[in-house]
Amino acid sequence: MDLSVPPDITFVVLTTITLLAAIMALQAKELIYGAISLGISFIGIAGFFVSLDAPYLGMLQIAVYVGAVVVLILFTIMLVRREEVDKDETGETGESAAGLWLAGLLAVSIAGIAALAGPNLPTTPPEANLPISQLGAVLAGAYPVPLIILALLLSAALLGALVLAKVDR
């Protein structure tokens, strides 16, 4: 790191806000304040996107993470009672072994796809401040494989959430 160059003031301010809010989110005694700090931290990350000439991503960051994810977290905090969260789940069967196997399989296949597609990815980043119509073209044209891997990860997370939330009757 070159210390002779004075740091960008926007970057310093954004980093401070984001990191402080992230620490607050973990340390807050009241869960609500934790959720609010998490929202502020997300807004800080959106600020990074805007300062990196990607305003569209920044706006989507606010809309999706602060507008939807934080709302979900708040909702959960307010509606679920504490003792239900803290309840210990110890139902050890063959499920955890199968889960580990499947997770390993997913990891190996993702790594395989990435290794196969890696050499074909463009080495130069796309130019900054792309128009939104070209953003889609770049994402689907030059980076289809990372897009598919992200989709796989998201669907795996969704399935995992389903398994965690399943209640045996």
**Of residues 19, 23, 52, 78, which one binds another protein by CB under 8 A?**
78
**Of residues 21, 37, 39, 44, which one binds another protein by CB under 8 A?**
39
Is there binding between residue 32 and another protein (CB under 8 A)?
yes
Answer for the pair 58, 46: CB distance below 8 angstroms, yes or no. Answer: yes
Residue 40 exposed, middle or buried by CB count within 10 Å (0-12, 13-18, 19+): middle
What is the SS3 assignment for 31? helix
**Of residues 21, 38, 45, 66, which one binds another protein by CB under 8 A?**
66
Of 37, 14, 17, 13, residue with least CA distance to 27? 37
Q: Interface mask (CB under 8 A) for another protein, residues 126-155, using x and -?
A: -----xxx----------------------
Count of residues engaged in binding another protein, rule: CB under 8 A: 21
State the minimum distance, in angstroms, from the CB of residue 159 to another protein.
23
Answer for the pair 149, 110: CB distance below 8 angstroms, yes or no. Answer: yes
